[in-house]
Amino acid sequence: MANLSLKHIYKVYPNGTKAVNDFNMQIEDKEFIVFVGPSGCGKSTTLRMIAGLEEISAGELKIGDVVVNGLEPKDRDIAMVFQNYALYPHMTIYDNIAFGLQMRKVPKDEIDRRVREAAEILGITDYLKKKPKEMSGGQRQRVALGRAIVREPKVMLLDEPLSNLDAKLRTQMRSEIVKLHKKLQTTFIYVTHDQVEAMTMGTRIVVMKDGFIKQIDTPKNLYKYPANKFVAGFIGTPQMNFFEGTILKDGDRVCINFANSQARLTVPYSALTKVIPHYLDGEHKVTIGFRAEDISLDPVKVEQSQAVVKVKVSHTEELGTETLVYGDINLDGDDFTDTGTRVIIKSGGFKEYESGEVVEAAFDIGAIHLFDSETEESILPRVPEYNYLNCTVSGNKLRTLGTEFDIPPAISCDDGEYELLLPVTALANGETKAKVIGCEKVSGSNLLSLDINGVMVFTISDLAQSNGEANIGIDFKQITLRRGGENVVQPLPLVNSLDATFIMEKVAEMDEMGKRKKKALYSFVIEGEKCVCPDEVCAKMFAAFSGRKVFNTSYTCEFSPYDFTVGESGITATIVGELDYSSERFLKCSLNGKEVYVRTDKPLTGEVKLIPDLNTVSVIEKDRQIRIV
């Protein structure tokens, strides 16, 4: 039993293939995690790094509280089950299961207890005296599981264990593995390319593509709230319907126009308040997604619906409990060319449609998905990043949300009207009354919708009181003011990037016996200034390289404005300005042509010496663009 922590894990193969990029995840004890994605997306590589079968190029992997980057597989308290179960043909099933324990010189009676217990759990007790060739594929896979179970590992790793089995057996083994997980109460990590397997087995699923995590979430959330078109298309059968189009807000209505089709939907804006507003201009190309079950041909639903589209039926597939109706929302379509207007509709029971028949379909607008056509990211995110508001600046007052806020000196802009981008994290404690009108739990935090003088805003915070009210203010260092498409006021940068190299020096030291001896001292040279490197950071630096290459590489060291102290010695920077946000002050400094922001308690001018806190540093290797610390 163990939790796992994967921080900024990378795998770069010697031939330069970047198989895994910046993999970050916390896995809780007893979770059943599934890595899923198309072939070559990096799921096996990630699993093999956890197993210790593949070296980790950069990043930190913890099993329990132990950093295991440097540990041999046998010392990691894991067991792995592969697709190819590779049983020893000349040994009995009993010996196949016992073999690993025998090699480890576990006492005989202990081996016997564990083998019999595992066989019992897996229902293969009657086969213990048989040889593998006398068993079916499913039974052999059970033996392979048995071999893993008897090791009583903290973490079970399974790499496509069912892909050699036929479809029926696979479905059966799937539920057996889920049961096994419940019985063993151990953390499971399971790799598959099959989304159905992922959806039916995982408590949480990691969807990967091209070495990147596309989303980590529960099966239900992946299905309901895909963060991008890739996840939306990968999860669910039949695949989500995607249409190209534009969306235009007109007062309190929104018009959804489908490209290459006469179809259009007009829906109340209240159904689409989370859409990033600049997509509502009728110009930006968007991808509109509806799942087959969110479109209905039921005449009653069509009658009641405000969102009806005509569909020309091409053919149907009767699956018993439901019928899949294939059609086109382009009534002039020729059924053959893929125009991006094709649609698949799930219709209950058996229903006959003529080919070429035009039917009316009701789209469930509450189940719409919208993506940027180019980036493919959701533009209707579950948690919006910003509240998009209008505001007026006059003197040191900012008017928005039906009230006025004092503008701190750090914000400088002309009087006038602006677009205000207020991050959902930027609502702080303050004096403006807000009413909580909604609360959605999203991965551990609360997404509140607030009514402030009749305007709705979202916030991620615990500001709400039990009576459903909140007193809010604005954290001005997070805001953006925009006019004519240009950012006039930008948020305070939270990352300062400095150039660095890594060095070793030999320094003389007295040992306990009073003898002089030489000791290696490791430092970063950051913008020309030597800063001693803490042991923990050093360990990560060495873990990322083999040999001396660590010293001949350029790095970017990242610090937040809170990670510097101003001292007598340190990196020299020239103060070029001060940002006073009333509750906090920051120095704007110039350092070798770069801008650096530093939190300060007192006003300062001229030159400062900055001492960065290397315990909180992030280090990026410039060559491979990988985060080492």
What is the rounded distance in angstroms from the CA atom of residue 56 to the CA atom of residue 47?
11
Q: Sign of dihedral through CA atoms 175, 179, 185, 186?
A: negative
Smallest distance, ligand ADP to C-beta of residue 440, A: 33
Q: Is 191 or 343 the residue whose CB approaches ligand ADP more closely?
A: 191
- Contact predicate 171/198, CB 8 Å: no
41 binds ligand ADP (CB under 6 A): yes
- Contact predicate 391/481, CB 8 Å: yes
Smallest distance, ligand ADP to C-beta of residue 5, A: 20
By three-state DSSP, how is residue 249 classified? strand
Piece in contact with ligand ADP (CB under 6 A), picked from 32-40, 81-89, 248-256, 454-462: 32-40
13 binds ligand ADP (CB under 6 A): yes
Strand partners, 254: 249, 267
Q: Is 536 or 623 the residue whose CB approaches ligand ADP more closely?
A: 623
Smallest distance, ligand ADP to C-beta of residue 542, A: 23
Indicate the residue type of 1: M
Smallest distance, ligand ADP to C-beta of residue 401, A: 47
Q: Is 83 or 305 the residue whose CB approaches ligand ADP more closely?
A: 83
Query: Using the rule CB under 6 A, which residue among 17, 355, 443, 592 binds ligand ADP?
Result: 17
39 binds ligand ADP (CB under 6 A): yes
Piece in contact with ligand ADP (CB under 6 A), picked from 40-48, 106-114, 291-299, 488-496: 40-48
Q: Is 195 or 323 the residue whose CB approaches ligand ADP more closely?
A: 195
What is the rounded distance in angstroms from the CA atom of residue 526 to the CA atom of residue 557?
8
Smallest distance, ligand ADP to C-beta of residue 21, A: 11
- Contact predicate 149/183, CB 8 Å: no
Q: Is 15 or 466 the residue whose CB approaches ligand ADP more closely?
A: 15
Smallest distance, ligand ADP to C-beta of residue 33, A: 15
DSSP string computed for 92-129: -HHHHHHHHHHHTT--HHHHHHHHHHHHHHHT-GGGTT
Short-list 294, 194, 279, CA closest to 242: 294
DSSP state of 29: T
What would the two tokens of residue 217 be? 């979430």
DSSP string computed for 372-412: ETTT-BBSS-SS-SEEEEEEEEETTEEEETTEEEEPPTT--
Query: Using the rule CB under 6 A, which residue among 9, 19, 78, 492 binds ligand ADP?
Result: 19
Compute the residue count for the chain: 629
Distance of CA 551 to the CA centre of its chain: 33
Smallest distance, ligand ADP to C-beta of residue 375, A: 23
Q: Is 12 or 286 the residue whose CB approaches ligand ADP more closely?
A: 12
Q: Is 44 or 459 the residue whose CB approaches ligand ADP more closely?
A: 44
Q: Is 11 or 114 the residue whose CB approaches ligand ADP more closely?
A: 11
Piece in contact with ligand ADP (CB under 6 A), picked from 34-42, 429-437, 452-460, 478-486: 34-42
Smallest distance, ligand ADP to C-beta of residue 159, A: 8
Piece in contact with ligand ADP (CB under 6 A), picked from 37-45, 172-180, 354-362, 554-562: 37-45
**What is the C-alpha radius of gyration for the chain, rounded to an integer number of angstroms?**
30
Smallest distance, ligand ADP to C-beta of residue 163, A: 11
Smallest distance, ligand ADP to C-beta of residue 47, A: 8
615 binds ligand ADP (CB under 6 A): no
Piece in contact with ligand ADP (CB under 6 A), picked from 14-22, 145-153, 419-427, 569-577: 14-22
Smallest distance, ligand ADP to C-beta of residue 337, A: 33
What is the rounded distance in angstroms from the CA atom of residue 270 to the CA atom of residue 259?
24
Q: Is 40 or 277 the residue whose CB approaches ligand ADP more closely?
A: 40
- For tokens 């530093």, the residue is 598
Smallest distance, ligand ADP to C-beta of residue 30, A: 24
- Contact predicate 54/14, CB 8 Å: no
Query: Using the rule CB under 6 A, which residue among 10, 33, 42, 434 binds ligand ADP?
Result: 42
Q: For 308, list phi and psi in degrees, rounded to 5.
A: -115, 135
Residues between 43 and 102 with contacts to ligand ADP, criterion CB under 6 A: 43-45
Position of minimal CB gap to ligand ADP = 44
Piece in contact with ligand ADP (CB under 6 A), picked from 36-44, 349-357, 451-459, 593-601: 36-44
Q: Is 195 or 296 the residue whose CB approaches ligand ADP more closely?
A: 195
Q: Is 40 or 430 the residue whose CB approaches ligand ADP more closely?
A: 40
- Contact predicate 597/29, CB 8 Å: no
DSSP state of 228: B
Q: Is 163 or 501 the residue whose CB approaches ligand ADP more closely?
A: 163
What is the rounded distance in angstroms from the CA atom of residue 187 to the CA atom of residue 403?
51
Count of other CB atoms within 10 angstroms of residue 577 = 13
Piece in contact with ligand ADP (CB under 6 A), picked from 10-18, 447-455, 464-472, 581-589: 10-18
Piece in contact with ligand ADP (CB under 6 A), picked from 12-20, 132-140, 366-374, 452-460: 12-20
What would the two tokens of residue 137 be? 């594929």
Long-range contacts formed by 466-472: CB under 8 A, 24+ apart: 468/435, 468/436, 469/433, 469/434, 469/435, 469/436, 470/433, 470/434, 470/435, 470/436, 471/429, 471/430, 471/431, 471/432, 471/433, 471/434, 472/427, 472/428, 472/429, 472/430, 472/432, 472/434
Residues in contact with ligand ADP by the rule CB under 6 A = 13, 15, 17, 19, 37, 39-45
